[in-house]
C-alpha cells in the first residue's frame, strides 16, 4: 500500500490528446446530431491511455482490504469467503448478454436458475415463495414490509400502521418501516439481551389492533438466540400482526433452525452475506423476500426486472457447490468459530452477557477501562496488525460495542493469531496506551478528520480544484 | 472436511473443549427442540466444481443469443475488456463499505472520482455514491422532493415516462402517501402548459420528466425549471447516462435533481442487473440527499484522504428519521462506470453517442423506406425510436425472434427500437430485410 506515490486522482493523470478506447468506424453515412439538442460544454472527464487507467485502479486496489487480503471479522456483515467459481459462472456470456425484456422462450436457462434458487431458499427457510426484485438487504426489508402492508390493506384493515422493533435492531429496520409509511414502536431488551416479554405484552395490549408486524433478527444483533421466539410469534399473530424476519443473521441458522419454523411469515435474505456473493465495497447485493403460502399475491413492484440476476447466479453456484449436506455445516461451524474467540478473550474484554452465542458476539470494550483506550482505538490498532476491524459502536445497547463475526471459513490458526493480537492490544493498552490511541501507524493514511469533511463538504474534483485555487 | 471449511477433527475437539461443550449440536442448546430443524433439506447433493460448471453451461445453452435492438432503459453498449478485469481485483470485490477509511482508500478514492464524473456528466453540483438502479433512484428523488417540500405530497410525472419506472414510483408513492398526477402526452412529449396548469393547483412537491423519454424522443424542457421554482416545486430529470455525453444536461435545463441508470455506460445487460442508479443534485440540497457520500479531508499526517461524510443523514444514525432506508451503494458498479468514463473520456463518450445516433437513424430511414413503417412522432430522437407497423406487430416481433433478432420492445402499435455502437451495418440490414417481408 502506498498513498504517497499513488494518491493521485484519475483527473490528475489526464493529458489532452490521450485516449483509452477504440471504436468501430461509422458506416452509416452522415448523420449529425443537431446542435439544438446538445450540451454547451463537454463533460470534463479525464483523457488517459489504457495503461494509465489500468495502473491507477490497480494501485487503488492496493490501498484496500478485502476478505481475500485477510481476516475480516466485521460483525453483522458475514464477510465469508467469496468462491472464485461463482465469479466465473456469473460472467458466462450466455447469461451476460440477455436483455431483461427478452421473451420467455429465449431465456429458459436463466429462468431455470431463478427457479432453482427459489426452491433452494424455500427449503432452507421453510417459507413457500420468494420474489427476487429487491436489490439489497434494506430494499428487501422495505419490500417485505410493503408486502405486509398490502396484505392488511387487502383485508380493509387500514389501522395496522405500527411496527414493533427491538431496541437492538439494525438501523435499517426502523428506517425501512418509515419509508413504508409505518410508525415504530420500540420494544426493550431485558437483562439477558433478549426481547423483554413484559414490555412486548404491554405494547401488544395497548396497540394490538394497530400492529402491522414485528421485525426481528434471530439470533439478534448480540448474537443471542431469542429463546422465546415461539411465544413472541404467538403474541403477535394473536393480535393480528405478522412476523418479519430480518435475514441479516441467517447464517448461523443454516442446518439448525428455519425462520418459517420459528413462526415468521415474511423475511428477506442477504445473498451477499449468507450465500457468499461478494460485498463489492458496499454493493451490489441482493435481498430476495420470502413469504408463507398465500402472501405471495401481495409482493410489491419494487424494481422492473429479475433483481440483481448476476448476484443471484453466484448464490446458485454456492448452493450447488455445498448441496443439502454441506450447507448444514455452515451454521454450526460459524457458531463454533465465534464462541471460540469469545471464550478466548473474555478475560481481557468485557463480555456483558455471558453464555453461548451464535455466529457473532459483542464485547463492551476492554475489561480494564482505566487505560482510557476505547473501542475505536482497539479497532484502529487492529489495522496495524493486518486485520479488518470488527463492527464498532453497534449495537447501541452498550457504550463500547465491539461486534465480532468470524464466519465458518476461518481456520483455527487464523482465529488463534487474531486472539493473540487482541490480547497483545489489551496489554499495550496498559503498557503503551499512546501507541494504541494514535493507531493506525502502518496503513497508507492515518486517522482522518471526519469533522473537517462534514463541516465543509468537498465531494467532487471540480470543488477540490476550486478549493486549491482559493488556497 | 470440505473445501470451504478448514476445521479438522482435531481442531473441532480443541475448540469445543475451550468452549466447554461436547458437540457442535450442544452449541445450540438455546434453540427450543420444538423448532430445531432435524430433517434433510430438499436440495441436490454437493456438486464438484466441474459439475457446477456443467450445470451452468448446460443452462446457458438453453438461452437463445439474440442480436439486440431492444432498449427501454437497458442498452447493449460495448464493455471494454479492462473493466471486468479490474473489477475482479479481489481487494475491490471482497471488501465491504469503507467504514475503516485507513484501509479503504481504494474504494473511497474511486467513489470520489465517480461522484466527480457523474456531476460533470449531468452538469449538477454534486452526486451521491450511487444507488441500486435508475428506477429506484427516481423513486428516491420523488421522496426527496416531498421531504424537502413543506406539507406537500403531490408529484407530477410525465406521461412519457418509461412504464417500468412509473410502476416503481407508484409502489413507493402508495406507501409514502404521495399523490402522483400523470401529465398528458402531447404528440409524444410533455407540455409546459400542462405542467403550469397542474402546478397552479398547488401542493406540488416535484415534477419528474424523462430524457430521452419512453418513445426515445429528446424533449425540449425550456421553461420547465422556472415554472417549477415559481411554485416551490423541485424539477427532477431522469436521463439515460450515456446520452448526456452530448445532450443538453439536467444542469443546463435547471434541474434540482438528476437521476437515472448508469447501465448505458457499458454495463452488461445480464438479464436485469446489477446496474447502477445515479443521483445528482444542487449544492443546496446536499443534506436532503439520500445515500452515501464521500468527501475529501486530511489525515493526522497531513495527507489528502477520502472518507464517508455527512452520515448524520443516514439510517444507522437517524434510524426512522433518516432521509432514506438505503444503507449502501452499488459500489462495484460505480467502479465499473468510473473506469468506463476514465477509458472513454469525453471524446470516446461522444463517439459512442454519435455512432449510436447514426446507426439508429440509419435503421429508422431504412425501415421507413420499406413502406411498412411510419415514425410515430415527428420529433428529434437519439438512439431509440418508436415506429408503427402496418401489419400484425406481434407476428413481426416473433418473426424477428425466430431469426435470432430482438427487434426492440413491443409498444402499442409497433416496435420501440434501440441501436448502439455494437450493431453492425450487416445486422441492421438483416433486420430490415426480415421486417420488410
Could you tell me if residue B19 is inside a domain? no
Grid coordinates representing A411 are: 481456520
Q: Which of B84, B321, B359 lies at the smallest CB-CB distance from A28? A: B359
DSSP state letters, B65-128: P-EE---TT-------THHHHHHT-HHHHT--S--SGGGBHHHHHHHHHHHHHHHHHHT-SEE-
Of B48, B380, B335, nearest in space to B211 by CA: B380
Q: Which of A1, A20, A171 lies at the smallest CB-CB distance from B316? A: A171
Could you tell me if residue A141 is inside a domain? yes
Establish if A386 touches chain B: CB-CB under 8 angstroms.
no
Establish if B282 touches chain A: CB-CB under 8 angstroms.
no
Phi and psi at B255, nearest 5°, equal -65, 150
- pTM of the predicted model as reported, rounded to 2 decimal places: 0.97
Q: Is there a single domain that holds both residue B236 and residue B373?
A: no
pLDDT at A6: 62
CB within 8 Å of A14: residues ≥ 6 apart: A46, A47, A48, B345
> How many helices (H) and strands (E) are present in chain A, helices listed first?
17, 10
Q: Do B64 and A380 touch (CB under 8 A)?
A: no
How many other C-beta atoms are found inside a 10 Å radius of the C-beta of residue A243?
26
Which residues of chain B are within 8 Å of residue A56 when distances are taken between CB atoms? 342
Quick check: bond before B212 cis, omega within 30?
yes
Q: Is there a single domain that holds both residue B276 and residue B417?
A: no
| Confidence bin at B285 (pLDDT 50/70/90) | very high
pLDDT at A1: 44
Grid coordinates representing B365 are: 430511414
Establish if B349 touches chain A: CB-CB under 8 angstroms.
yes
CATH code for the domain in which residue B418 is found:
3.90.1150.10
Which residues of chain B are within 8 Å of residue A14 when distances are taken between CB atoms? 345
Q: Is there a single domain that holds both residue A34 and residue A127?
A: no
- Identify the residue whose cell numbers are 420444538: B34
State the nearest Cα–Cα gap between B304 and chain A, in angstroms. 8
| Chain A residues 233-252 with CB within 8 Å of chain B | none
Establish if B150 touches chain A: CB-CB under 8 angstroms.
no
A2 and A444 in contact (C-beta within 8 Å)? yes
State the nearest Cα–Cα gap between B174 and chain A, in angstroms. 9
| Confidence bin at B1 (pLDDT 50/70/90) | confident
Q: Which helix (H) or strand (E) holds B204?
A: strand B204-211
Based on the number of CB atoms within 10 Å of its own CB, is A455 exposed (0-12), middle (13-18) or buried (19 or more)?
exposed
How many other C-beta atoms are found inside a 10 Å radius of the C-beta of residue A202?
13
pLDDT at A467: 86
Q: Is there a single domain that holds both residue B309 and residue B223?
A: yes
CATH code for the domain in which residue A291 is found:
3.40.640.10
| Confidence bin at B324 (pLDDT 50/70/90) | confident
Grid coordinates representing B138 are: 427516481
* Domain count along chain A: 2
Q: Do B273 and A459 touch (CB under 8 A)?
A: no
Q: Is there a single domain that holds both residue A135 and residue A26?
A: no
Q: Which of B35, B326, B355 lies at the smallest CB-CB distance from A26? A: B355
Q: Which of B41, B65, B103 lies at the smallest CB-CB distance from A443? A: B103
Establish if B326 touches chain A: CB-CB under 8 angstroms.
yes
Establish if B247 touches chain A: CB-CB under 8 angstroms.
yes
Q: Which of A43, A304, A446 lies at the smallest CB-CB distance from B102? A: A446
Of A409, A403, A222, A411, nearest in space to A330 by CA: A409
Q: How many beta-carbon pairs under 8 angstroms link A with B? A: 652
Q: Which of A323, A350, A372 is where one domain is finished?
A: A323
How far apart, in Å, are the Cα atoms of B256 and each of A149, B198, B393?
A: 32, 19, 40
Q: Do A7 and B303 touch (CB under 8 A)?
A: yes
Grid coordinates representing A342 are: 469469545
User: Is pLDDT of B317 > 70?
Assistant: no
Establish if B24 touches chain A: CB-CB under 8 angstroms.
yes
- Identify the residue whose cell numbers are 441500486: B132
Phi and psi at B131, nearest 5°, equal -135, 180
CA nearest to B354 within chain A: A33
Q: Do B335 and A281 touch (CB under 8 A)?
A: yes
Give the span between the Cα atoms of B435 and B190, in whole angstroms. 31
Which residues of chain B are within 8 Å of residue A45 when distances are taken between CB atoms? 117, 120-121, 341-342, 344-346, 349
| Chain A residues 345-374 with CB within 8 Å of chain B | 355-356, 358
CB within 8 Å of A425: residues ≥ 6 apart: A378, A381, A382, A385, A436
Q: Is there a single domain that holds both residue B210 and residue B262?
A: yes
Per-residue DSSP letter, A219: S
Residue A364 pairs in a beta bridge with A401
Of B305, B334, B349, B393, nearest in space to A447 by CA: B305
State the nearest Cα–Cα gap between B414 and chain A, in angstroms. 16
In tens, the pLDDT along B102-117 reads 999 999 999 999 999 9
- Identify the residue whose cell numbers are 449468507: A274
Establish if B285 touches chain A: CB-CB under 8 angstroms.
no
Q: Is there a single domain that holds both residue B327 and residue B406?
A: no
Establish if A70 touches chain B: CB-CB under 8 angstroms.
no
State the nearest Cα–Cα gap between A371 and chain B, in angstroms. 22
Which residues of chain B are within 8 Å of residue A460 when distances are taken between CB atoms? 112, 115-116, 119-120, 125-127
Give the range of the structural domain holding residue A11, as residue numbers without chain letter. Answer: 3-61
Q: Which of B304, B339, B374 is where one domain is finished?
A: B339
Q: Is there a single domain that holds both residue A57 and residue A127?
A: no
Give the pLDDT mean for B385-408: 97
Give the span between the Cα atoms of B360 and A31, in whole angstroms. 10
Q: Is there a single domain that holds both residue A56 and residue A90?
A: no
Give the span between the Cα atoms of B8 and A241, in whole angstroms. 45
Nearest 5 degrees, angle CA B190-CA B192-CA B194? 80
In tens, the pLDDT along B59-72 reads 999 999 999 999 99
Residue A349's SS3 state is strand
State the nearest Cα–Cα gap between A431 and chain B, in angstroms. 23
Q: Is there a single domain that holds both residue B351 and residue B319?
A: no
Q: Which of B339, B362, B384 is where one domain is finished?
A: B339
Establish if B330 touches chain A: CB-CB under 8 angstroms.
yes
CATH code for the domain in which residue B174 is found:
3.40.640.10
Q: Is there a single domain that holds both residue B105 and residue B133?
A: yes
Q: Print pLDDT tens along chain A (471 aa).
A: 445 556 899 999 999 999 999 999 999 988 999 999 999 999 999 999 999 999 999 999 999 999 999 999 999 999 999 999 999 999 999 999 999 999 999 999 999 999 999 999 999 999 999 999 999 999 999 999 999 999 999 999 999 999 999 998 888 899 999 999 999 999 999 999 999 999 999 999 999 999 999 999 999 999 999 999 999 999 999 999 999 999 999 999 999 999 999 999 999 999 999 999 999 999 999 999 999 999 999 999 999 999 999 999 999 999 999 999 999 999 999 999 999 999 999 999 999 999 999 999 999 999 999 999 999 999 999 999 999 999 999 988 899 999 999 999 999 999 999 999 999 999 999 999 999 999 999 999 999 999 999 999 999 999 999 988 877
Q: Do B27 and A124 touch (CB under 8 A)?
A: no
Establish if A254 touches chain B: CB-CB under 8 angstroms.
no
Q: Is there a single domain that holds both residue A146 and residue A218?
A: yes
Angle separating helix axes A229-238 and A197-207, nearest 10 degrees: 10
Give the span between the Cα atoms of B98 and A349, in whole angstroms. 26
Give the range of the structural domain holding residue B366, as residue numbers without chain letter. Answer: 67-78+345-435
Interface confidence: ipTM more than 0.90: yes
* Domain count along chain B: 2
User: Chain A interface, mutation test: which of B4, B251, B252, B335, most A Cβ atoms within 10 Å?
Assistant: B4
Q: How far is CA B430 from the centre of its chain?
A: 31
Residue B356 pairs in a beta bridge with none
Looking at A21-104, which runs of residues are DSSP E strands? none
Amino acid at each position: 500500500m502506498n498513498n504517497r506515490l499513488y494518491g493521485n486522482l484519475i483527473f490528475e493523470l489526464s493529458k489532452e490528446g490521450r485516449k483509452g478506447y477504440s471504436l468501430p468506424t461509422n458506416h452509416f453515412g452522415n448523420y449529425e446530431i443537431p446542435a439544438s439538442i446538445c450540451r454547451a460544454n463537454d463533460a470534463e472527464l479525464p483523457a488517459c491511455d489504457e495503461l494509465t487507467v489500468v495502473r491507477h485502479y490497480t494501485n487503488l486496489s492496493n490501498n484496500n482490504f478485502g476478505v481475500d487480503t485477510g481476516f475480516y471479522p466485521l460483525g453483522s456483515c458475514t464477510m465469508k469467503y467469496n468462491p472464485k467459481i461463482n465469479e466465473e459462472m456469473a460472467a458466462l456470456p450466455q447469461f451476460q448478454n440477455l436483455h431483461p425484456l427478452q421473451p420467455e422462450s429465449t431465456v429458459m436457462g436463466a429462468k431455470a436458475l431463478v427457479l432453482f434458487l427459489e426452491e433452494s431458499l424455500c427449503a432452507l427457510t421453510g417459507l413457500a415463495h420468494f420474489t427476487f426484485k429487491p436489490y439489497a438487504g434494506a430494499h428487501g426489508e422495505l419490500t417485505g414490509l410493503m408486502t405486509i402492508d398490502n396484505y392488511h390493506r387487502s383485508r380493509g384493515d387500514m389501522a395496522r400502521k405500527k411496527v414493533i422493533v427491538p431496541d437492538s435492531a439494525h438501523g435499517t429496520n426502523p428506517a425501512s418501516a418509515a419509508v413504508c409509511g409505518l410508525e415504530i414502536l420500540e420494544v426493550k431488551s431485558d437483562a439477558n439481551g433478549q426481547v423483554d416479554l413484559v414490555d412486548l405484552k404491554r405494547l401488544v395490549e395497548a396497540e394490538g389492533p394497530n400492529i402491522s408486524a414485528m421485525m426481528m433478527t434471530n439470533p439478534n444483533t448480540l448474537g443471542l438466540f431469542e429463546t422465546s421466539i415461539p411465544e413472541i410469534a404467538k403474541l403477535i399473530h394473536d393480535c393480528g400482526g405478522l412476523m418479519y424476519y430480518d435475514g441479516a443473521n441467517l447464517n448461523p441458522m443454516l442446518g439448525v433452525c428455519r425462520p418459517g419454523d420459528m413462526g415468521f411469515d415474511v423475511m428477506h435474505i442477504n445473498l451477499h452475506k449468507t450465500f457468499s456473493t461478494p460485498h463489492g465495497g458496499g454493493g451490489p447485493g441482493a435481498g430476495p423476500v420470502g413469504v408463507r403460502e398465500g402472501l405471495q399475491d401481495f409482493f410489491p413492484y419494487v424494481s422492473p426486472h429479475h433483481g440483481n440476476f448476476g448476484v443471484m447466479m453466484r448464490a446458485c453456484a454456492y448452493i450447488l457447490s455445498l448441496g443439502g449436506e454441506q450447507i448444514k455445516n455452515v451454521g454450526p461451524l460459524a457458531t463454533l468459530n465465534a464462541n471460540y474467540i469469545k471464550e478466548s478473550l473474555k478475560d481481557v474484554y468485557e463480555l456483558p452477557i455471558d453464555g453461548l452465542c451464535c455466529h457473532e458476539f459483542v464485547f463492551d470494550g476492554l475489561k480494564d477501562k482505566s487505560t482510557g483506550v476505547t473501542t475505536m482505538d482497539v479497532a484502529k490498532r487492529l489495522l496495524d496488525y493486518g486485520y479488518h476491524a470488527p463492527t464498532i459502536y453497534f449495537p447501541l445497547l452498550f457504550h463500547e460495542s465491539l461486534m465480532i463475526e468470524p464466519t465458518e471459513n476461518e481456520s483455527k490458526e487464523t482465529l488463534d493469531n487474531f486472539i493473540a493480537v487482541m490480547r497483545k492490544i489489551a496489554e499495550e493498552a496498559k503498557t503503551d496506551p499512546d501507541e494504541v490511541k494514535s493507531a493506525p501507524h502502518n496503513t497508507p493514511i492515518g486517522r482522518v478528520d471526519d469533522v473537517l469533511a462534514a463541516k465543509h463538504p468537498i465531494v467532487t474534483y471540480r470543488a477540490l480544484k476550486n478549493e486549491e485555487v482559493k488556497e | 472436511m470440505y473445501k470451504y471449511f478448514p476445521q479438522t477433527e482435531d481442531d473441532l475437539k480443541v475448540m469445543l473443549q475451550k468452549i466447554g461443550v461436547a458437540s457442535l449440536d450442544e452449541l445450540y442448546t438455546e434453540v427450543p427442540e420444538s423448532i430445531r430443524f432435524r430433517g434433510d433439506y430438499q436440495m441436490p447433493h454437493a456438486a464438484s466444481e466441474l459439475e457446477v460448471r456443467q450445470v451452468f453451461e448446460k443452462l446457458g445453452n438453453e438461452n437463445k443469443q439474440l442480436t439486440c435492438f431492444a432498449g427501454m432503459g437497458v442498452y447493449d453498449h460495448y464493455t471494454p475488456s479492462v473493466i471486468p478485469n479490474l473489477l475482479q481485483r479481489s481487494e475491490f470485490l471482497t471488501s465491504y463499505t469503507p467504514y475503516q477509511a485507513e484501509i479503504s482508500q481504494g474504494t473511497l478514492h474511486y467513489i470520489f472520482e465517480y461522484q466527480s464524473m457523474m456531476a460533470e456528466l449531468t452538469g449538477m453540483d454534486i452526486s451521491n455514491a450511487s444507488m441500486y438502479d435508475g428506477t429506484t433512484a427516481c423513486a428516491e428523488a420523488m421522496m426527496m422532493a416531498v421531504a424537502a417540500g413543506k406539507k406537500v405530497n403531490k408529484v407530477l410525472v410525465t406521461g412519457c415516462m418509461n412504464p417500468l419506472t412509473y410502476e416503481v414510483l407508484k409502489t413507493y408513492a402508495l406507501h409514502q402517501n404521495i399523490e402522483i398526477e400523470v401529465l398528458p402526452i402531447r404528440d409524444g412529449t410533455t407540455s409546459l402548459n400542462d405542467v403550469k396548469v397542474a402546478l397552479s393547483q398547488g401542493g406540488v412537491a416535484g415534477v419528474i420528466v424523462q430524457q430521452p423519454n419512453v418513445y426515445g424522443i429528446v424533449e425540449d424542457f425550456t421553461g420547465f425549471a422556472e415554472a417549477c421554482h415559481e411554485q416551490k416545486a423541485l424539477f427532477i430529470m431522469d436521463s439515460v447516462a450515456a446520452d448526456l455525453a452530448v445532450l443538453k444536461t439536467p444542469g443546463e435545463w435547471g434541474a434540482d435533481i438528476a437521476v437515472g441508470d448508469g447501465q448505458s455506460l457499458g454495463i452488461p445487460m445480464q438479464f436485469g442487473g446489477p446496474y447502477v442508479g445515479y443521483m445528482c443534485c444542487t449544492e443546496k440540497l446536499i443534506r436532503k440527499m439520500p445515500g452515501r457520500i464521500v468527501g475529501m479531508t486530511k489525515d493526522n499526517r497531513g495527507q489528502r484522504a477520502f472518507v464517508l461524510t455527512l452520515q448524520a443523514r443516514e439510517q444507522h444514525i437517524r434510524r426512522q428519521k433518516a432521509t432514506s432506508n438505503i444503507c449502501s451503494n452499488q459500489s462495484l458498479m460505480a467502479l465499473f462506470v468510473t473506469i468506463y468514463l476514465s477509458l472513454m473520456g469525453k471524446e470516446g463518450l461522444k463517439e459512442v453517442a454519435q455512432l449510436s445516433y447514426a446507426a439508429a437513424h440509419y435503421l429508422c430511414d431504412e425501415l421507413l423506406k420499406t413502406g411498412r413503417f411510419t415514425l410515430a412522432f415527428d420529433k428529434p430522437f437519439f438512439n431509440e425510436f418508436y415506429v408503427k407497423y402496418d401489419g400484425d406487430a406481434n407476428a413481426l416481433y416473433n418473426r424477428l425472434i425466430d431469426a435470432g433478432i430482438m427487434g426492440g420492445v413491443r409498444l402499442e402499435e409497433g416496435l420501440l427500437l434501440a441501436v448502439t455502437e455494437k450493431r453492425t451495418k450487416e445486422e441492421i440490414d438483416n433486420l430490415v430485410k426480415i421486417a420488410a417481408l
